[in-house]
Amino acid sequence: MTYSTNEMMTVAAARRLKNNAVCFVGIGLPSKAANLARLTSSPDVVLIYESGPIGAKPSVLPLSIGDGELAETA
């Protein structure tokens, strides 16, 4: 199986997030990495998005910092 550079970077970044860590998250690859970590190895990581939600647990990846999914799950 072949993985893209973006997929490899996402997994590498997710592995760096420790459980119970607090992480300021951007949109795109940072959001993918943070949520991958939250869903796998670091379920208690606290995600803070620049639009204000603290502790968001989106069930789908947000498309922007203003995505309603962030406010609804924070």
> Which of 7, 50, 69, 72 does the annotation list as catalytic?
50
% of the chain exceeding 70 in pLDDT: 100
User: Is 50 a catalytic site residue?
Assistant: yes
Angle subtended at Cα 50 by Cα 35 and Cα 12, rounded to the nearest 5 degrees: 35
Task: Judge contact between 14 and 45, C-beta under 8 A.
Answer: no
pTM of the model as a whole: 0.88
Confidence at 22, pLDDT banded by 50, 70, 90: very high
Looking at residue 11, what is its pLDDT?
Answer: 98
Angstrom distance (rounded) from CA 52 to CA 25 = 11
Average pLDDT over residues 34-62: 94
pLDDT above 90 (res 74):
no
